[in-house]
């Protein structure tokens, strides 16, 4: 079968999203290698091979506008996945390149790319829980994640603390996401929790890939159409469009609005009230 290399961008969320390709192509019997700096930390949750970039028959590249992406995109047998394609910046599209529909989630777009490239329809990320874990063992444990790789995307910690107090007063068991030695430990903790509420970041995608309901707080509704978690039940809270000022969006997302979104769109829909 074909020797295929998958090269996502470096973020945890990107790696999980592109593992849809890795998992489903390996199931078809292809020899698949995923090049990513952190996914191997999921250990027993994943069965794919992780390595450095080496020889391939086909390279599936998430074009992240890095110098490496621009160089690799010019090679033969490289299929590029573009979040957005700008002709003056990226050059003409090649046969096989895929450009996102930004009104759909990344999960939906990758599923479409997989279908376009190989005729496979699936969004299964290939995460297998190790023995002994029970899905949503603690349904009222609400995991709060107040970090991300970009401080500009972070809802203020003081608002998370007020949300924590509000949830606890209403009988839930909120907990700020602790640090774990490995991604495998993080996945196990999330898998047995009830819901994740957090910023637009990797743990939100991981929780969703595990099937957990998620509530994501973000600066822009347009951005979140593409980047909202796309596996488990999800809802996003963003400022109204006319209040979505880059440096002031956090002011217009209130604790009340996030709490109301949780009760109306998450707790009610999964009988968690």
Those residues whose C-beta lies under 8 Å from the C-beta of residue 46, and which sit 6 or more positions away, are: 19, 39, 40, 126, 127, 128
Those residues whose C-beta lies under 8 Å from the C-beta of residue 30, and which sit 6 or more positions away, are: 1, 2, 3, 4
How many domains would you assign to the chain? Answer: 2
Assess if residue 227 is contained within a domain: yes
Q: Name the percent of the chain lying above pLDDT 70.
A: 97
Say whether both 94 and 160 belong to one domain: no
Mean pLDDT score, 201-217: 96
Mean pLDDT score, 197-216: 96
Distance (Å, rounded) from C-alpha 55 to C-alpha 2?
12
Say whether both 52 and 155 belong to one domain: no
Assess if residue 251 is contained within a domain: yes
pLDDT confidence of residue 243 = 56
Which of 65, 83, 118 is the C-terminal boundary of a domain? 118
pLDDT at 241 over 90: no
Assess if residue 124 is contained within a domain: no
Tens of pLDDT along 114-172? 999 999 999 999 999 999 999 999 999 999 999 888 888 899 999 999 999 999 999 99
Q: What is the CATH number of the domain that holds 106?
A: 3.40.50.2000
pLDDT confidence of residue 246 = 62
Tokens of 127: 């995460």
| Domain extent at residue 161 | 141-267
Measured torsion, CA atoms of residues 199, 201, 206, 208, in degrees rounded to the nearest 10:
50
Say whether both 184 and 233 belong to one domain: yes
CB 20 within 8 A of CB 8: no
Q: Which of 273 and 204 is assigned the larger pLDDT? A: 204
Say whether both 199 and 241 belong to one domain: yes
Which of 86, 118, 150 is the C-terminal boundary of a domain? 118
Assess if residue 114 is contained within a domain: yes
Say whether both 170 and 257 belong to one domain: yes
Assess if residue 209 is contained within a domain: yes
Tens of pLDDT along 86-117? 999 999 999 999 999 999 999 999 999 999 99
Mean pLDDT of the chain: 93
Mean pLDDT score, 234-245: 78
């Amino acid at each position: 079968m074909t020797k295929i290399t998958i090269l996502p961008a470096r973020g945890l969320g990107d790696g999980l999203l592109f593992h849809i390709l890795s998992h489903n192509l390996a199931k078809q019997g292809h020899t698949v290698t995923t090049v990513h700096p952190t996914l191997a930390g999921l250990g027993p949750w994943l069965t794919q091979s992780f390595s450095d970039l080496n020889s391939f028959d086909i390279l599936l590249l998430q074009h992240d506008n890095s110098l490496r992406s621009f160089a690799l995109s010019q090679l033969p047998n490289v299929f590029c996945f573009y979040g957005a394609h700008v002709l003056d910046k990226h050059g003409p599209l090649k046969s096989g390149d895929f450009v996102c529909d930004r009104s759909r989630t990344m999960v939906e777009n990758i599923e479409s790319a997989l279908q376009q490239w190989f005729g496979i329809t699936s969004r299964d990320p290939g995460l297998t829980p190790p023995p002994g874990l029970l899905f949503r063992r603690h349904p009222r444990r609400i995991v709060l994640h107040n970090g991300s790789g970009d401080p500009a995307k972070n809802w203020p910690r003081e608002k998370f603390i007020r949300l924590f107090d509000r949830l606890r007063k209403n009988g839930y068991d909120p907990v700020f996401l602790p640090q774990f030695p490995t991604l495998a430990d993080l996945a196990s903790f999330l898998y047995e929790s009830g819901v994740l509420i957090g910023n637009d970041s990797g743990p939100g995608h991981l929780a969703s890939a595990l099937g957990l309901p998620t509530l994501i707080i973000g600066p822009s509704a347009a951005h979140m159409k593409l980047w909202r978690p796309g596996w488990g039940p999800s809802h996003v809270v963003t400022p109204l469009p006319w209040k979505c000022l880059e440096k002031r969006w956090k002011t217009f997302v209130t604790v009340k609005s996030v709490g109301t979104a949780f009760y109306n769109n998450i707790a009610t829909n999964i009988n968690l009230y």
